[in-house]
Amino acid sequence: MLDILDKGVCTTKEVKKILSYYLNKPITIKYNLGRNKFEIYQVVITNLYNYIFITENIDNKNVKKSFSYADIITKTIKIYE
């Protein structure tokens, strides 16, 4: 698991810098929906913007999702290599 917060990173700028390494590489995102419910996505990060990043599903290229860097900081999503 890529736990960015364990590295002492707490700003969106530094999270974006770390995620730039995973640009166009396959990753797994575990999205916490609350009450012990999770959704797991096999995706590729396609674009990085100032406050969000865009992902594309590996199996279905038409499915795109966006997540914010705050989702990583608040541990709403977890990223696995």
CATH number at residue 66: 2.30.30.100
Rounded to two decimals, the pTM is 0.86
Domain with 15, as residue range(s), is: 4-80
Please state, in angstroms and rounded to a whole number, the distance separating the CA atoms of residues 13 and 28.
21
Positive or negative, the Cα torsion across 58, 64, 66, 49? positive
Mean per-residue pLDDT, 20-27: 94
Look at the chain and report how many structural domains it folds into: 1
| % the chain with pLDDT above 70 | 89
Q: Predicted confidence band at 10 (pLDDT cuts at 50, 70, 90)?
A: confident
Q: Give CA angle at 25 (28, 32), nearest 5°.
A: 20
